[in-house]
A = this chain, B = another copy of it.
Amino acid sequence: MNNHATTGTSSYHRPKLSNEGLPPTHSVDAVDEYGLSRKLRVAGEFPLTIKVDGAEIVTLMSLGTFPEKLTLGYLRNQRLISEIGEIAEVRVDWQREVACVRTTHGHGIDDLEKKTASSFDTPYEVLLPQVKIKQSQVYSLLENIAGYNQIYREAGAVHGCALCKGQEILYFIEDIGRHNATDAIAGEMWLEGVKGDDKWLYTTGRLTSEIVMKVASMGIPVLLSRSGITSMGLELAEHLGLTLIARAKGHHFLVYSGKDNLIYDEIPKRRRETATTKS
């Protein structure tokens, strides 16, 4: 229904990618409180060192299901590479636990040390559009999300992130870190030329400064979470004009930033007087 993606027909040369996604869960044996042996699934966790033209950038601990997209999104969200056209290839090798990025120009990342040091700075140059959000769409999205978190239901220990256009879920990615899942979505958006300005990002994780900065860097004006927020996540969102909705679960939510953007078109009938649940 929604023409959500500018498909990859734009002018840049699409990077060559390996296809080294790992299975997300692994079978292990545990013993329960009755002393009984149980065969269970656990989430994978693997180190992946990103190298650009041979220079080591970072080691991420990841589920490993979308390592090429994670690599692309990390480079984009940390603002280490500004144009995807600069990237000729991403080749993941799990034997060596490395994602080798080759640029078209071959001279790596300029001012790497400076860029790495400044990754905690606020992207104040980002100006996000103010978009209206219907309560009914938030509720529809939360219903839709329920069908997606397969890895979590199988093994736990992961966070899920979804790129949404209103209630419609475009991509859903799980990882052991919510920041990795967000980066992998950024990588997919970058590859496909998808813009963030008419999208929302949903996460099961908490809204800390890191996730707020990543989502703002992705140009996405609305961030929803099943969990809570921190003071700095809120402060940054207010600065950047990001609408922040936390504790979104069932019919409950709390709007912490961008309060004027909510359209209350489906106010629940029974007013609950119970306290906010934590997570």
Contact at B232–A45, with CB atoms within 8 Å?
Answer: yes
Q: CB distance B42 to A267 under 8 Å? A: no
Contact of A100 with B by CB under 8 A: no
Considering the complex, give the chain B residue whose CB is closest to the CB of A244. Answer: B30
Q: In angstroms, how far is the closest chain B Cβ from the Cβ of A75?
A: 19
For residue A145, give the distance in angstroms from its CB to the closest CB of chain B. 15
How many copies, total? 2
Residue of B30, B61, B252, B276 touching A208 (CB-CB under 8 A):
B61
A254-B40 in contact (CB<8A)? yes
The listed residue with most B CB atoms (<10 A of its CB), out of A33, A246, A253, A271, is A33
Taking a contact as CB atoms under 8 Å apart, the answer to whether B176 and A230 are in contact is yes
Cβ 8 A contact of A256, one of B28, B61, B208, B254: B28
A57 cross-chain contacts in B, Cβ below 8 A: none
B157 touches A42 (CB 8 A): no
Chain B residues, Cβ within 8 Å of A253: 32-33
Closest to A139 in B: B33
The residues of B that contact A156 with a CB separation of less than 8 Å are 206, 227-228, 247, 278-279
A218: Cβ under 8 A from any B Cβ: no
| Residue A105 interfacial (CB < 8 Å) | no
Which residues of A, 113-161, contact B by the 8 Å Cβ criterion? 120, 135, 152-153, 155-157
- Tell me, yes or no, whether A79 is within 8 Å of chain B by CB: no
Q: Are A120 and B32 in contact (CB under 8 A)?
A: no
Shortest CB distance A60–B (Å) = 10
Q: Classify the interface of chain A: helix, strand, loop or mixed.
A: mixed
Min distance, Cβ A51 to any Cβ of chain B, angstroms: 13
Residues of B within 8 A of A234 (CB): 28, 42
A7 at the interface (CB under 8 A from B): no
Tell me the bound Cα distance from A228 to B38 in angstroms. 15
- Cβ–Cβ contact A230 & B44, under 8 A: yes
For A43, list chain B residues within 8 Å (CB).
228, 230-231
The 29 sampled A-B contact pairs (Cβ below 8 Å) are A28-B256, A30-B254, A30-B259, A32-B254, A33-B135, A33-B252, A33-B254, A35-B267, A40-B254, A42-B256, A43-B228, A43-B231, A44-B231, A44-B232, A45-B208, A45-B230, A45-B231, A45-B233, A47-B120, A59-B120, A155-B228, A156-B206, A156-B227, A156-B228, A156-B247, A157-B207, A157-B227, A157-B228, A157-B229
